[in-house]
Structure 1
């Protein structure tokens, strides 16, 4: 038996989305997706989005900044990965640039160096080339710039 779809009035949906946005910063794409899941019509979506922006529940610049800080500090992502993920969420170029300013350059390099050393210690491969490749692949996947990665790989895994 299929359960009937719950329908929401604009006021109910607005209250529900206020809670959704208050719990954690959200981007417009996430909120629109949530409203579509709730089977709201396009006019209602526009109305609710406008209300959320007006009441400061929804702010893309704030979202981009907290996203960049969080992914860098917690997941140790590099700028490339952060930029790609923000683009995927349809964040504007301006907001992406503002978000990247949240990451201190000294802290960025310090985190990169610590991450590279930690990962190298975990790699059990004996072959030098395979060791370098595993380290480089790991760092590139995490979104660190290729220039930084290859420089660090050759510094940490020198030719013998």
Structure 2
């Protein structure tokens, strides 16, 4: 027999308040969590409305924090950040606001530092074409723009 805990709307609200207070969350994460708690759709709508009213849930704030964090800690480029935010169903307006959180001078200096670091890791690769491909693949995976990547890769041939 499957036994699982059931929650009242008030208990679920309290749980979700703690869940959202711990870290910024997007609507999709909150909906998923409420479904895991086996809440009915009407209750989910009521709880999400409560979280929005009391400013526990704010997609703009989530998108800004997400963009800042992934850029500063994981060194992701704008393409990867945009892709991940779209997967979380964040609006284009909020994505645009989030990308403004990344200063352009920091963005370019981080790209240079990351590319140099990866290039130094590839010293064992003797074939220049393979080395260029590995560097480009790494930078593309991290979500950096193609014009920046190819500029950097072409610097390698000089």
- Range of TM-score over shorter length: over 0.9
Match of 1:25 in 2: 24
Per-residue deviation, 1:3: 4.8
Computed over aligned residues only, the root mean square deviation of the Cα atoms, in angstroms, reads: 0.8
- Within 2, Cα distance between the matches of 1:81 and 1:130? 24
Aligned counterparts of 1:100 and 1:44: Cα–Cα separation in 2:
34
Q: Cα offset for 1:49?
A: 0.1
Partner of 2:138: 138
Unaligned runs of 5+ in 1: none
Residues 92-115 of structure 1, C-alpha deviations (whole Å, 9 max, x = no match) = 000000000000000000000000
**1:147 matched to 2:135:** no
TM-score by length of 2: 0.98
Distance 1:74 1:3 in 2: 41
SS at match of 2:95: helix
Secondary structure at the counterpart of residue 74 of structure 1? helix
Which residue in 2 is equivalent to 1:87?
A: 86
Structure 2, unmatched stretches of 5+, are none
1:114 counterpart = 2:113: yes
